[in-house]
Structure 1
């Protein structure tokens, strides 16, 4: 009799576990940009893959335009860590105020091209960056791409650090960006993207820096940005991530489903973003924007002008991480 009762209790517990596992769940996913941009498309692809592979049992509801943090993109990481946001496809720039190690990707002229970027994200530097995120209560799952950031302005073509002297350049809320543009002789002005376009329209700021996809989709050329310098001065990889407390409530099979869907969405979005670059650039030129491509010598002048920024920020980022990044790029 005791054995039968025990078996019945175990069976009931197992059934309850299966029932909980099978329950439909909905989670919020924050992004800064909508699905008009590759960034927003990355989040939506993740949501679509999860819905398909869970057969509708798990819903990721995407909230674009940083609406869960009232448009303040630099607060996204904190909001997710506190539990106000379940998941996010966020950027290293926006999360760097809370995770200083992520400033690695914002060091000016550390990376030259996609190969350098991949060497960082897919190697030891990427693992160390993920560890830094996880130590602060967020579980990172996969990398995506926001692209290398280029510089535009309404005044003149920019080829040398001297050309930036006195120009007001809109930057995101990161001290590293302030230091970089100050070192180049510009006047960096911090503001959200929602405030940036009106400021560019009125001439309150002269220029801005963003990936080609943002320049193209947001039609930055329509707010007086007639000159675009393709200087690839830093890249902004995206990170698919989950609040740690939410992660711990998930059964292992759901964790694996979310992780694999994030990996697949990140790979899909990276290929999409890179594949669109040439067409986007051609369209921008057709709209009358004058583009400047730096020679190796011209790029080196910017490297020298921002060397002090590397020296200043290396201790904040961490010696081991800097060493891993430099080794990966050298190889």
Structure 2
């Protein structure tokens, strides 16, 4: 029995379709749900918990067709517009590339701000009202957020010093990483997830800033030999639904979606706690070298390099951003 199946079996003991209006609606609903990341990712697991719980709660009245790995044709940077316009009813989106739409989406990936799951969740909760407002302004409703494990550096060598980073063509996932690694002497290139493996294959990049989770799902050990743990940030995916789709639901259906979203959120935040050790074990089994315990001076230098990204974010968000950071730091 898989971890997801065990989780759902336990959850089913506590919730029944009767709690949400009994029998399924006469007209069944099916939503296409986009996710740029692999079907084995922690976010995909959360999506599956959501869809399976929702189907149970509605007696099959609401079902979801998953499109993992960007298979429906949208990258994360496209998904906010796609859901707002109704091209997609629902999506699971890495929000960093949306920083150009609203800088609040860059908050979770501010360098060396949130380095543990508890930190990441506290930071999200401090900004939750702002995210709700941003999605509402884009004709959407935020359902839940899920974290990535801490980001490190995948390469064909240990990247455990500024000398090792110097001139390295490294993929970053948003503007924060690009600014930070450029300040630290690297040669960063911001890429969507779907473009990473092709660029590795052609030599367009030599290294990747992402979590052990991301690289494990993509089997980076087929092209790279080392992962250096730097705990750069714990960025977030967010699951959002078109507001017209949401408003068309009955009260019972809305309650079911809300309960299923909570089940998915609880699953993912609990799973991330042990995900790193599981990833490291898989990476080692596949011959990859995990570099831990890097020099504190190197980490201090990366943190200092990230000061520009943090300052630029505060300049763009002003008093609103400072209030969120103040609430987080309490």
TM, length-normalised to structure 1: 0.85
1:138, 1:317 → 2: CA distance? 21
State the structure with more CA Rg: 1
- The match for 1:237 is 236
- The match for 1:151 is 153
1:219, 1:38 → 2: CA distance? 15
Q: C-alpha deviations, 1:93-133, integer Å up to 9, x for none? A: 243333321111121111232221121123x3233233222
SS of equivalent residue, structure 1 residue 67? coil
1:167, 1:89 → 2: CA distance? 31
TM, length-normalised to structure 2: 0.85
Distance 1:295 1:323, change over 3 A: farther
2:207, 2:62 → 1: CA distance? 42
- The match for 1:302 is 302
1:283, 1:21 → 2: CA distance? 44
More off after superposition, 193-202 vs 228-237: 193-202
Distance 1:301 1:178, change over 3 A: closer
The question of whether the paired residues in 2 share the 8 Å contact of 1:158 and 1:229 is answered with: yes
Gaps of 5+ in 1: 1-17
- The match for 1:293 is 293
SS of equivalent residue, structure 1 residue 60? strand
SS of equivalent residue, structure 1 residue 96? helix
- The match for 2:32 is 28
1:97 to 79, 89, 100: 100
Q: C-alpha deviations, 1:165-222, integer Å up to 9, x for none? A: 11101223x3333222211211112333333223323433110011211211221011
1:58 to 54, 59, 62: 62
Distance 1:313 1:23, change over 3 A: same
1:289, 1:315 → 2: CA distance? 39
The question of whether the paired residues in 2 share the 8 Å contact of 1:99 and 1:133 is answered with: no
The question of whether the paired residues in 1 share the 8 Å contact of 2:103 and 2:313 is answered with: no
2:219, 2:90 → 1: CA distance? 29
1:20, 1:111 → 2: CA distance? 42
- The match for 2:217 is 217
The question of whether the paired residues in 1 share the 8 Å contact of 2:36 and 2:193 is answered with: no
Shift of 1:164: 1.4
Pairing of 1:76-225 with structure 2 (within 5 A): 76-122=79-125, 124-154=126-156, 156-172=157-173, 174-223=174-223, 225=224
